[in-house]
Amino acid sequence: MNTPPSTAQPVQHRMRSTWHTATIVETRAETPHSVRMTLAVPTWPGSEPGSHLDVRLTAPDGYQASRSYSIASSSPWGHVILAIDELPDGEVSPFLVNEARPGDTLEVHGPLGSYFVWRPGQSDRPVQLIAGGSGVVPLYAMAVAHDLAGDSTPFQLLYSVRTPADAFFAAELTELAGPSFQVTHAYTRQAPTGWSGTVGRLTRDSLAASTIPASERPRIYVCGSTGFTETVAAWLLDLGHATTDILTERFGGL
Amino acid sequence: MSFATRGFSGRRGHADTRLPPGQTKVDKWPVLSAGPTPHVETAEWELTVQDETGTDHRWSWDELHALGVEDVTVDIHCVTHWSKLDMAWRGVSLDKILENIRSEHRYVMAHSYGGYTTNLPLEDLVGGKAWIATEAEGQPLQPEHGGPARLLVPHLYFWKSAKWVRGLTMMPTNDPGFWERYGYHVHGDPRKEQRYR
């Protein structure tokens, strides 16, 4: 490790990541199985939309557990918003969803990841966001950043959820929707009253009908479970999108 | 400077002394990758090692296996905090592949079908520490796990074990690969928690 990295390849701009002390300032139920948590992190340098952080919890005897979570916020103002889905047999998410409360402190490391991010002004190509369940979290951060920047790049979100109650950031997404941000839902189990579309898992055809066509060369961000992401990415290739235009992020590791 | 978080005791059902710091044991095998999964037929698969003169040394699927496949049982550690212990793998040792490659260069860039890259010091690939793996847990390596063949360098975080590997290029300096350019550590030793730059 004595040889410094070559400058032959550009090193991506990114914010320096390090450990920070975070204080929970607000928790609220996001869905029946998840919590939206606002953290005060005075030393937070801000984060690019789509990036994530590590949360570390320490027990009184020094035992530690760390997990990665996508960041829902993209503001640089010393606050970080997370939306955490409870994994029934998990170790950290049940604690954060059911036990943690305002005033509690924990450690966060970040911001992390500068690949699965969207930066205002980087391209005028349209952007297609495709989320399954809690996979909408980093994509929501992108939609907020797009709105805050007044960026005129066309944005579309296709959001697959089981039922309306399982949708993250439902009110916010409705509010963000407008001429340059179109939101389409796919309900796999139960649709809202008055829903005119079909209910069921996405198919290649329904994906094609509700996303930006390959002819418009959208940049595509897919985030969801491994099964969701694998399936959607394979369909997108079938529909003529280029591999390099499809960015994926999966959860389900821990 | 860590401090205790009120009320947290942990479940610890998966505690294991073999786990590096910050890791949790999993039984399933999670999948992580940056884009769509490439599908490569073994009939078309080829491994190319480019030495410092720019000369390519090539192995087809059958030629790779003719070098001798070995069984190894190793622990793997993902930078996203999961570890899977005692995994049974089959593959060809990099010692056999690099045996007749002469190079003064001390670093290697691994290239994958699909465009992924990751950088490694040559010393991390030789000495019985790394393989071109084609089977895991008794099955041909599935595409989402990097099949038909992936690099297996279990003593480093698993992003170094490039899925869908197609080539190794000797290089004089430790140039960063894909994730390394996006903020991940240039070396990635789990015992030292070399996760991020």
* Token code pair at residue B36: 């769509």
- Collapsing DSSP to helix, strand or coil, A131 comes out as strand
> In chain A, which residue's Cα lies nearest the Cα of B84?
A253
Domain containing A147 — which CATH number?
Answer: 3.40.50.80
Tell me: do A97 and A167 sit in the same domain: no
Residue A164 placed within a domain: yes
Residue A7 or B119, more confident: B119
Residue B19 placed within a domain: no
Of B5, B34, B107, the CB nearest to A104: B5
Residue B114 placed within a domain: yes
Which of A89, A112, A135 is the last residue before a domain boundary?
Answer: A112
CB spacing of A66 vs B22 below 8 angstroms = yes
CA distance B38 to B121: 26
Tell me: do A179 and A99 sit in the same domain: no
Residue B35 placed within a domain: no
Cα B146 to Cα B48, B149, B167: the distances in Å are 17, 6, 14
Residue A117 placed within a domain: no
Give me the amino acid identity at B151.
L
Q: What percent of chain A has pLDDT over 90?
A: 83
Give the residues across from B71 on adjacent strands: B90
Residue A2 placed within a domain: no
Domain containing B85 — which CATH number?
Answer: 3.90.420.10
Residue B6 placed within a domain: no
How sure is the predictor about A5, in pLDDT bands with cuts at 50, 70 and 90? very low
Query: Nearest 5°: CA angle at B51, between B49 and B57?
Result: 40
Which of A112, A137, A169 is the last residue before a domain boundary?
Answer: A112
pLDDT at A251 over 90: no
Tell me: do A173 and A229 sit in the same domain: yes
CB contacts of A115 in chain B (<8 Å) are 34, 178-179, 182
CB spacing of B35 vs A248 below 8 angstroms = yes
> In chain B, which residue's Cα lies nearest the Cα of A8?
B175
CB spacing of B10 vs A91 below 8 angstroms = yes
Tell me: do A70 and A144 sit in the same domain: no
**Is omega for the bond preceding B148 within 30 degrees of 0, making it cis?**
yes
CA distance A40 to A178: 30
How sure is the predictor about A89, in pLDDT bands with cuts at 50, 70 and 90? confident
Strand B150-152, strand B131-136: pairing = antiparallel
Residue B66 placed within a domain: yes
> In chain B, which residue's Cα lies nearest the Cα of A10?
B181
Helices (H), A44-193: 93-94, 136-148, 170-176
On the 0-12 / 13-18 / 19+ scale of CB atoms within 10 A, A69 is buried
Of B3, B14, B37, the CB nearest to A58: B3
A151 contact partners, CB below 8 Å, separation of at least 6: A120, A121, A145, A180
Cα B51 to Cα B79, B83, B101, B115: the distances in Å are 30, 33, 7, 20
Tell me: do A144 and A51 sit in the same domain: no
Tell me: do A28 and A103 sit in the same domain: yes
The number of folded domains in chain B is 1
> In chain A, which residue's Cα lies nearest the Cα of B10?
A91
Domain containing A81 — which CATH number?
Answer: 2.40.30.10
Q: What DSSP letter does each residue of chain B carry, written as one string?
A: ---PPTT-----TT--TTSPTT-EE-SS-----SSPPP---TTT-EEEEE-TTS-EEEEEHHHHHHT--EEEEEEEE-TTSEEEEEEEEEEEEHHHHHTT------EEEEEETTS-EEEEEGGGTSSS--EEEEEETTEEPPGGGTTT-EEE-TTS-GGGS-TTEEEEEEESS----HHHHTTB-SS--GGGT--B-
Residue A75 placed within a domain: yes
What residues make up the domain containing A171? Answer: 127-251
pLDDT tens digits, residue range A111-150?
Answer: 998 899 999 998 889 999 999 999 999 999 999 999 999 9
Q: Which residue has the tokens 């140039």?
A: B175
Tell me: do A82 and A191 sit in the same domain: no
Asked if B58 contacts B48 with a C-beta cutoff of 8 angstroms, the reply is yes
CB contacts of B30 in chain A (<8 Å) are 226, 250, 252-254
CB spacing of A95 vs B7 below 8 angstroms = yes
Tell me: do A220 and A105 sit in the same domain: no
Of A65, A114, A243, the CB nearest to B24: A65
Residue B8 placed within a domain: no
ipTM for this model: 0.90
Q: Is the dihedral of CA A7, A8, A14, A19 positive or negative?
A: negative
CB contacts of A23 in chain B (<8 Å) are none
CB contacts of B10 in chain A (<8 Å) are 57, 59, 63-65, 91
Residue A216, min C-alpha distance to chain B (Å)? 19
What pLDDT does A253 receive? Answer: 58
Tell me: do A166 and A93 sit in the same domain: no
Q: What percent of chain B has pLDDT over 70?
A: 98
Residue A198, min C-alpha distance to chain B (Å)? 27
How sure is the predictor about A11, in pLDDT bands with cuts at 50, 70 and 90? very low
CB contacts of B178 in chain A (<8 Å) are 115
> In chain B, which residue's Cα lies nearest the Cα of A114?
B182
What residues make up the domain containing B48? Answer: 24-28+40-192
The number of folded domains in chain A is 2
Tell me: do A180 and A107 sit in the same domain: no
What pLDDT does A88 receive? Answer: 85
Residue A121 placed within a domain: no
* CB contacts < 8 A (A, B): 150
CA distance A194 to A128: 26
What pLDDT does A182 receive? Answer: 98
